[in-house]
Amino acid sequence: MNQTALYPLRFAPLYQYRLWGGRRLANWLTAPLPGTGPIGEAWLLSDRDAQPSRVIDGPLEGRTIAQLMADSPEAILGKLARRFRRFPLLLKFLDAHEMLSVQVHPGSDNADLIPVGETGKTEAWIVLEADAASRVYVGLQPGVSLADLRALSERTVDSCLASFTPRAGQGIFIEAGTVHALGGGVVVFEVQQNSDVTFRLYDWDRIDPETGRPRALQVAQALACIDPGQGPVHPIAPAEATGGSIRREKLFDSPHFRVWRLQTHSPFSVGAVDEPRVLVCLDGTGNIEYDGADFAIARGDVILLPAAVGACRFRPQGEVTLLEIAVPDLP
């Protein structure tokens, strides 16, 4: 494969059973949910060894992101290819019908806790749906100690963890080392470093119906990652810049990812020269114009614009809401 073969790449979602999940991801994705049980996650773009995303249309249909990265890393990542062996982000939808475990992810300063081939895990959520009973736990109440967290229980969760009722549209940034959970009927989009390292601190005394046993906890590892002085974490206030008919909000700007939310009914530019961008459609439909062809995108779709594709014109069909995601080029 050479660089000229690349084009805007659309991927099939990878559904994941989670005991805390529901069936609401059927409202966001056209691919039918498997079975009748709880589906907690849809992996939208995954370069994980066990479950890589597959292209679903065009000449590269059936190829995985892992295969494309192995064949043409510079064409996919451009100037980022020197830094990453695999695509550096993992993108998901989460349907947290019940509460996720209270958990924490390691950062790069916890290298002894990170398996070979993995990285630290900073992530962020954008709330898509929330019920009256939905809850987000993120950060610690003032004065909470590691001893308090070691003895965490349903009775002490609210006195130890900071929390709030989420609203659709909110952005929540979760730095590695931050204690967090969410649930009670909330659907979010998640962007994270391409890592699958999670340490459970408390799991609400649940029994997994598939195994008949509680899920394993990793309390010692979780405590080793936590800064007890982290304090509460609040929804972010996006930086908004409205130009002409387009509303552009910068939701997250971290060393690991940048995310903009774009809302408009008028054509606009997406992508960038010599670096990859990912588009996620949250509402509406439209077409990406590239090399004389149109590439359709609709609600729930994720499209990777490889670095070799560069900047493109996006033409909405009515009002559209898109996320555009970039990986910063750091020294």
Measured between alpha carbons, how far is 154 from 205 in angstroms, rounded to an integer? 8
State whether 203 and 248 are in the same domain: no
Across 31-44, average pLDDT: 97
pLDDT at 29: 96
pLDDT given at position 330: 79
- 212 with 292, same domain? no
Indicate if the pLDDT at residue 83 is higher than 60: yes
- Which conformational region is residue 143 in: left (phi greater than 0), alpha (psi within -120 to 50 degrees), or beta? left
Name residue, tokens 């439209």: 286
Residue 205 lies in a domain: yes
33, 161: one domain: yes
φ/ψ (deg, to 5) at 99: -75, 135
Q: Would you say residue 232 lies in a domain?
A: no
125, with CB counted inside 10 A (0-12, 13-18, 19+), is buried
Specify if 331 maps to a domain.
no
How high is the pLDDT of residue 244? 74
Q: Is there a domain that residue 231 lies in?
A: no
272 and 212 fall within a common domain: no
Inside any domain, residue 166: yes
Burial (Cβ within 10 Å: 0-12, 13-18, ≥19) of residue 138: buried
Looking up residue 310, the CATH number of its domain turns out to be 2.60.120.10
Distance, CA of 34 to CA of 84 (rounded, Å): 33
Q: What is the percent of the chain with per-residue pLDDT over 70, rounded to a whole number?
A: 98
Whether 233 is covered by a domain: the verdict is no
Q: Are residues 180 and 322 in the same domain?
A: no
**Average pLDDT of every residue of the chain:** 95
Taking only the tens place, the pLDDT of each residue in 84-99 is: 999 999 999 999 999 9
H/E run at residue 157? helix 157-160
List residues bridging with 155 in a β-sheet: none
Picking from 225, 252, 273, the residue at the C-terminal end of a domain is 225
Which tens digits make up the pLDDT trace of 105-142? 999 999 999 999 899 999 999 999 999 999 999 999 99
The C-alpha atoms of residue 205 and residue 215 are separated, in whole angstroms, by 9
Shared domain for 35 and 159, answered yes or no, is yes
Q: Which residues pair with 181 in a beta bridge?
A: 137
First to last CA, the chain: 29
Q: Structural domain of residue 66, as residue ranges? A: 3-225
Number of domains in the chain: 2
| Residue after which a domain boundary falls, among 225, 257, 290 | 225
Same domain, 175 and 287: no
**pLDDT at residue 3 above 60?**
no
Would you state the pLDDT for residue 231? Answer: 95
Task: Taking residues 59-84, report their average pLDDT.
Answer: 96
Residue 57 has pLDDT above 50, yes or no: yes
Q: How far is CA 104 from the centre of its chain?
A: 16
pLDDT of residue 243: 67
Q: Which of 3-17, 53-67, 76-90, 211-225 has the lowest mean pLDDT?
A: 3-17
Shared domain check, 265 and 149: no
Listed in sequence order, the residues at least 6 apart from 234 whose beta carbon sits closer than 8 Å to its beta carbon are: 164
Distance CA 283, CA 168 (A): 13
Dump pLDDT digits (tens) for 232-279. 999 998 887 766 789 999 999 999 999 999 999 999 999 999 999 999
User: Which pLDDT band holds residue 289 (cuts at 50, 70, 90)?
Assistant: very high
Query: For residue 237, with 0-12 CB atoms within 10 Å meaning exposed, 13-18 middle and 19 or more buried, which class applies?
Result: exposed
Query: Can you give the pLDDT at residue 115?
Result: 93
Residues 253 and 201 in one domain: no
pLDDT in tens, 182-202: 999 999 999 999 999 999 999
Residue 1 pLDDT more than 50?
Answer: no
Phi-psi region of 231 (alpha: psi -120 to 50; beta: other; left: phi over 0): left
Does one domain contain both 31 and 180?
yes
Region 73-89 average pLDDT = 96
Residues 39 and 133 in one domain: yes
Is position 28 within any domain?
yes
Radius of gyration of the chain (CA): 20
Q: Please indicate, yes or no, if residue 64 is contained in any of the structural domains.
A: yes
- pLDDT at res. 2: 46
Q: How confident is the model at residue 40 (pLDDT cuts 50, 70, 90)?
A: very high
Residue 72: pLDDT over 50: yes
- Kindly state whether residues 37 and 105 are assigned to the same domain: yes
Please state the φ and ψ torsions of residue 161, each to the nearest 5 degrees.
-110, 140
pLDDT tens-digit series, residues 135-193:
999 999 999 999 999 999 999 999 999 999 999 999 999 999 999 999 999 999 999 99
Single residue among 159, 194, 225 that ends a domain in this structure: 225
42-74: b or e for each residue (b if 16 or more CB lie within 10 Å)? bbbbbbbeeebbbbeeeebeebbbbebbeebbe
What is the model's pLDDT at position 242?
Answer: 66
